[in-house]
Structure 1
Amino acid sequence: MDDRYQYQDQQGYEPYAPPLGPPPPPPQQQHYYGGYQGYDNQGYAPPPGPPPTQREVYQQQDAQGHVAEQSFEYSRCNGKKKALLIGINYFGSDAELGGCINDVYNVHAFICGRFGYDPADCVILTDDKQDPRSYPTKDNIIRAMAWLVDGAQRDDALFFHYSGHGTQVEDVDGDEHDDDDEAICPVDFQQAGLIIDDDSAHDLLVKPLPAGCRLTAIFDSCHSGTVMDLPYAYTVEGNIKKPNLFEGTQSHLLDAGMGVLTGNTGNLFSGLFRAAQEAFENHQSQEMTVKTKTSPADVIQWAGCKDSQTSADTQEAGKATGAMSYAFIASLSKYPDQSYQQLLETVREEMKGKYSQVPQLSACHPIDTSLQFVA
């Protein structure tokens, strides 16, 4: 394979641009997005502020109470821009999908038009290609990931988009509170294996990046909530999610409850002990993720669903598409200048009532979600 990837043309795919139409009327009830209140007379919320240029400092505290100072830098995204977009329809397989290749070309057209990415600096891997270098095998995906982050510098903007199958496998290093690692499925995953969050997605895409380099990643795939192992997930209100330490303890607490009802003290204490043990392991997993997966770079992940959910391969405007890819483009087409919190809310609104999946936002360090989303 050549050191430099060459842009492949669209081979007949028509990029999708959601119809804008007239701006929506100002709502009767004011909405609050990232600290910004209300709308102007065109129906748009006031634009959020740009990312700060100085080094940001915050503190981390471990279970023993030790406090360590950490720092990071936001990217202004005015340096070099590179993008890697992967769409896999798994043609001829039992798990064939319909919209993943369309997603790639839709997102590609959008980021080139909206964020100024040059097609010459975009790599597209899809399984309709004749060129073996552009086929989304595990080896090609890993090599393309390495190309994406190679030579990255402060204020660069990198963009990664994956539309295809996602899955879960047993966690072996203890950094997952649900005991499952998340993974994506290359076209040859049955022969070559998966790309798992621990050993590839995080190590290849996040660890090599310097402070102040932006990577925006979109995963339109099942079980994608923490597929990059980023330690800070956000609520729709823009706050860091508190880990649910009692996730997975329900059966143990039920055993304890039955012990109370039946007078079986053995079941009572056994259930309580196992629940406490599970909660402790959840806490350790969260602490390990924060300790080992925090980065001084500026990495943001948009995921199509929670780890426990699936992502829809569907039809929108008469075309096959992934629900997350469609919602991301539609939201930013309607409201071009949004904060991170706004975008999380409007993407979810695009899906509300149509899909059960809940898009997720996570980062490799604490972020100010009221700042303007840039890519």
Structure 2
Amino acid sequence: MRKALIVGISDYNSRYGSLPGCLNDMQEWRDLLVSTFKFQPDDIRLLANDRATKAEILIRLEWLFSSTDVDSLVFCFAGHGASIRRREYDTGDLLDHMDEALVSYPTSAAEDIQDHLIFDDDLAEIISRQNIELTNKLTLVFDACHAGGMLRDILINVDDAYLPRSIVMPPDVASRELSATALKTRRIGALQGLEPRHVICAAAKDIESAWDARMEDGLRHGAFSYSATRSLMQNPTMTLKELTDITGQKLALKFPQHPQLLGNEERYNLPFTV
């Protein structure tokens, strides 16, 4: 059995900038897994826009890890990313590190920002409750980025503009970083505290944006997803390292982003699905 969860959020309920390409990315990753990697449609779950709340994403992640007899697991996320210094909910104390996060759909304008961010420990908690051995079959694809603070001056209201897939923190939240220096960052998908054997395909370095743009087919996509899905359709047996190298070369012609592999280096020289 092969299972996948694919999330695409183009509309953020007016709280954050829209990303028109994310729904196209969601569909293209789904089509790739079915047509090229022979995933069964019933074994792929999709969450889009207002259905992709934090609660619903976590429920689907529980489903993803609920089986033991699986050959491959894939979690793809196309949407905004973020980097934040969190507060403990019970004490209000600031944590001593930064956290990368995936931005789920905000359920209301008044919702605290932490309530719709998905952190690494959210993923690690689910996996630890399920079957940690499955991590050697897990591939995470994040077409999002975490460099929001450096993207304030980019125009985002033009139809054909390149849109950064990262949010800018409100001033009060951003100021948390100023009270300490040289904070370490906990990367989303690192599964800290476990001994995972998974791999992360990240659309960009942690100081870069992942871009949403109009591509050669006339539609908007994530630049990384557009290039990666087409490369895998052409050569499904390429290794993960070959995928990021080829995708990076294509993106370098037009976009200032560099895809990265993170996680289990032994899997870098294996195909996209194990």
What one-letter code is carried by the residue in structure 1 that aligns with 2:54? K
Paired residues, number: 225
Alignment-derived partner of residue 186 in structure 1:
104
Alignment-derived partner of residue 157 in structure 2:
none
What one-letter code is carried by the residue in structure 1 that aligns with 2:59? R
Alignment-derived partner of residue 346 in structure 1:
246
Structure 1 residue 302 and structure 2 residue 220: aligned?
no
Quick one: distance in 2 between partners of 1:308 and 1:337?
A: 30
Alignment-derived partner of residue 223 in structure 1:
146
Give the direction of change, closer, same or farther, for the CA distance of 1:162–1:205 in structure 2 (3 Å limit). Answer: farther
Offset, 1:333: 2.3
What one-letter code is carried by the residue in structure 1 that aligns with 2:44? C
Alignment-derived partner of residue 114 in structure 1:
36
Give structure 2 stretches of 5+ with no counterpart.
87-93, 148-180
Quick one: distance in 2 between partners of 1:207 and 1:353?
A: 43
- Equivalent residue in structure 2 for 1:165, among 77, 80, 89: 80
Mapped contact 2:73–2:139 kept (Cα < 8 A): yes
Quick one: distance in 1 between partners of 2:266 and 2:119?
A: 21
Alignment-derived partner of residue 357 in structure 1:
257
Quick one: distance in 1 between partners of 2:266 and 2:17?
A: 37
Quick one: distance in 2 between partners of 1:91 and 1:167?
A: 14
Offset, 1:305: 1.0
What one-letter code is carried by the residue in structure 2 that aligns with 1:220? D
Offset, 1:102: 0.9
Structure 1 residue 156 and structure 2 residue 71: aligned?
yes
Secondary structure at the counterpart of residue 198 of structure 2: strand
Instruction: State the TM-score, normalized to the length of structure 2.
Output: 0.72
What one-letter code is carried by the residue in structure 2 that aligns with 1:124? L
Offset, 1:329: 0.6
Secondary structure at the counterpart of residue 221 of structure 2: strand
Alignment-derived partner of residue 56 in structure 2:
140
Offset, 1:330: 1.8
Secondary structure at the counterpart of residue 32 of structure 2: helix
Structure 1 residue 336 and structure 2 residue 245: aligned?
no
Mapped contact 2:81–2:145 kept (Cα < 8 A): yes
Secondary structure at the counterpart of residue 18 of structure 2: coil
Percent identity of paired positions between Structure 1 and Structure 2: 26
Runs of 4 or more, structure 1, over 4 Å off, are 171-174
Give the direction of change, closer, same or farther, for the CA distance of 1:156–1:184 in structure 2 (3 Å limit). Answer: same
Offset, 1:194: 2.9
What one-letter code is carried by the residue in structure 1 that aligns with 2:62? A
Mapped contact 2:99–2:186 kept (Cα < 8 A): no
Alignment-derived partner of residue 133 in structure 2:
211
Secondary structure at the counterpart of residue 133 of structure 2: coil
Question: Within 5 A, what are the aligned runs for 1:224-243?
Answer: none
Alignment-derived partner of residue 44 in structure 1:
none
Query: What root-mean-square deviation, in Å, do the aligned CA atoms of Structure 1 and Structure 2 show?
Result: 2.9
Alignment-derived partner of residue 61 in structure 1:
none
Quick one: distance in 1 between partners of 2:78 and 2:140?
A: 11
Quick one: distance in 2 between partners of 1:217 and 1:198?
A: 12
Deviations 1:79-119 (A, max 9, x none): x1111111111255151111111111111001111111111
Alignment-derived partner of residue 171 in structure 2:
none
Give structure 1 stretches of 5+ with no counterpart.
1-79, 129-134, 225-276
